[in-house]
Amino acid sequence: MDLTPAPFFADIARGPDGGQAHWVTTSDGLRIRVGHWRPDGAEKGTLLLFPGRTEYIEKYGAAAQDLADRGYATLAVDWRGQGLADRMLPERLLGHVGAFRDFQKDVDAAVNLAERLALPKPWFVLGHSMGGAIGLRAVMEGLPVKACVFSAPMWGIQIPPALRPVARLLSAMGDQFGIGAMRTPTTTLAPYVQASPFEGNSLTNDAEMYRLMQDQLAAQPDLSLGGPTVRWLGESLRECADLAKMPSPALPCITFLGTQEQIVNTAAIHDRMARWPGGELDLVKNAQHEVMMEGADTRRSIFDKMTRLFDQYAD
């Protein structure tokens, strides 16, 4: 099997032993990085973990350990434009995408690698934030999974009412006036966890997990990503609107949403789960956006619940 190894930072990932990463090439010729961990002993299946914007494989080492402890392998992706994948602009700290649907090409490349690695089946998908939008599109289009879980999925973006007209105007101007590669107002080139102290942050209430994110980027600055471009914003808003018009797929689903969520549009999540037959919305008390990076008790409860769902389909 001809596989091309990619850098993998096990020291900062703190995941299961034996984690690896490989380079894969998408159908449009970009190089992305895909990582994976496998549990010791019997394997019940594999989680296809779709990270959020700005994220990278190693951020999910702790999640992979929680899943491995419960018998599941994990595959995670550096999407185009972030992590060690090919960046989309000369300014590598700008989060950018040409078309949101291009992320489906990354999904296809990652799934192809999972097949080549013979990762244990059945497969499941776990999509966080932006990865929740990518994952929802993927399962709507036939991603071969038995069930899905979402964490604070980006099925809408939290924009203050007064700024929504500005966001729509910027999105239109990006296409018409060539400003798509400009950084969106109110964002910075610095990664959020480096620009913002733990106190008052909008990601997690757990100081240790917040410090882990800071330490990871300090150790490997090439993983860093700052604010999104106008084009990314416009493409994301369009994708969220398109997805909202589509029916929910016929798959078992749990969506976890923190009661202190400030980043994604919670109304869009409530709407989607209200029309997902058999789907469950789990409101995680005293949790922010990163429900999988809150305190130990919260994490334990979330991973126990999601793997109970997966266990129903394990071989």
Contacts of 232 (CB under 8 A, 6+ apart): 53, 95, 96, 97, 184
Token pair of 282, please?
């789990």
Which of 21-35, 150-164, 207-221, 286-300 comes out lowest in average pLDDT?
150-164
Q: 1 pLDDT exceeds 60?
A: no
Whether residue 34 contacts residue 83, with contact meaning beta carbons closer than 8 Å, is answered with: no
Which residue bears the tokens 């150790």?
219
Query: Is 300 in a helix, a strand, or coil?
Result: helix
pTM: 0.96
Q: What is the dihedral of CA 138, 141, 144, 146, to 10 degrees?
A: 80
Averaged pLDDT for residues 290-302: 98
Predicted confidence at residue 314, as pLDDT, reads 81
pLDDT digits (tens, 9 = 90+) for 45-56: 999 999 999 999
Predicted confidence at residue 180, as pLDDT, reads 83
Range of the domain at 28: 4-311
Q: How do 148-151 and 253-258 pair as beta strands?
A: parallel
Predicted confidence at residue 300, as pLDDT, reads 98
CATH of the domain at 235: 3.40.50.1820
Split into its structural domains, the chain has a count of: 1
d(CA 313, CA 315): 6
Q: 175 pLDDT exceeds 90?
A: no
Averaged pLDDT for residues 74-96: 97
Predicted confidence at residue 150, as pLDDT, reads 99
